[in-house]
Structures are given as structure tokens and as C-alpha cells.
């Protein structure tokens, strides 16, 4: 069975991570970690010509606290509000006197 692709924006990813981590307050952003390595890259159509190049890989992401005006930051209280506390039910009146 072929799997369907699911694309996520950075904002969607931040919200999903806030929900996963149970974060309900504060502003949060995302940093992306990269690892880079120098390499030799062949010119398309001319494999005998090699040029210096760079291979870059994404190695992880970190959810970071942010300020309200930080570009790309999201307010957890808006995007992942804390669950509302349920009122405890009133005790039933006993029917002992009947």
C-alpha cells in the first residue's frame, strides 16, 4: 500500500511539538539543526569536471522558548490551550429520610 505524503509548515510542526510535549503557555519557536560536509560535485553533463561543493543534512529540530515579537513564534495558549477543568459534580441529596 502506497503511503500518502503529508507536508507540514514550520507552524504546524511547532503546534504538533507543543501538543506532544504538553506545552500550554508561552511563546515558542523552532530551530533546525544542520550538518554540512565538503564534497566534490560533478557538473551535469560533464562528469569529468568536478567542483567543490557542500552536502547539507538536517539532523534535528529543537522547540525553543521565544518572545512574543520573535518572527515565527507561536503562542501556546492560542494554538494549544490547556484543557478546561471540569467542574466536579454536585453531591446528590440522600434519600435517607424517605
pLDDT digit string (tens) for 52-84? Answer: 999 999 999 999 999 998 999 999 999 999 998
At 15-45, the pLDDT tens digits run 999 999 999 999 999 999 999 999 999 988 8
pLDDT given for residue 93 in this prediction: 64
Q: List the grid coordinates of 85.
A: 477543568
Q: Label residue 12 left, alpha or beta by phi (over 0 means left) and psi (-120 to 50 means alpha).
A: alpha
pLDDT given for residue 97 in this prediction: 58
Sheet of strand 27-43, all strands in order from the earlier edge strand to the far edge: 46-66, 27-43, 74-75
List the single range of 46-50, 79-83, 86-90 with lowest mean pLDDT. 86-90
Cα within 13 Å of Cα(74), Cβ side: 22
Amino acid at each position: 500500500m502506497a503511503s500518502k505524503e503529508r507536508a507540514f509548515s514550520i507552524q504546524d510542526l511547532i503546534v504538533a511539538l507543543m501538543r506532544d510535549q504538553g506545552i500550554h503557555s508561552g511563546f515558542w519557536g523552532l530551530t533546525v539543526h544542520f550538518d554540512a560536509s565538503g564534497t566534490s560535485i560533478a557538473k551535469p553533463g560533464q562528469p569529468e569536471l568536478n567542483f567543490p561543493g557542500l552536502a547539507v543534512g538536517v539532523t534535528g529540530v529543537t522547540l525553543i522558548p521565544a518572545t512574543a515579537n520573535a518572527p515565527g513564534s507561536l503562542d501556546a495558549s492560542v494554538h494549544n490551550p490547556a484543557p478546561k477543568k471540569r467542574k466536579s459534580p454536585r453531591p446528590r441529596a440522600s434519600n435517607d429520610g424517605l
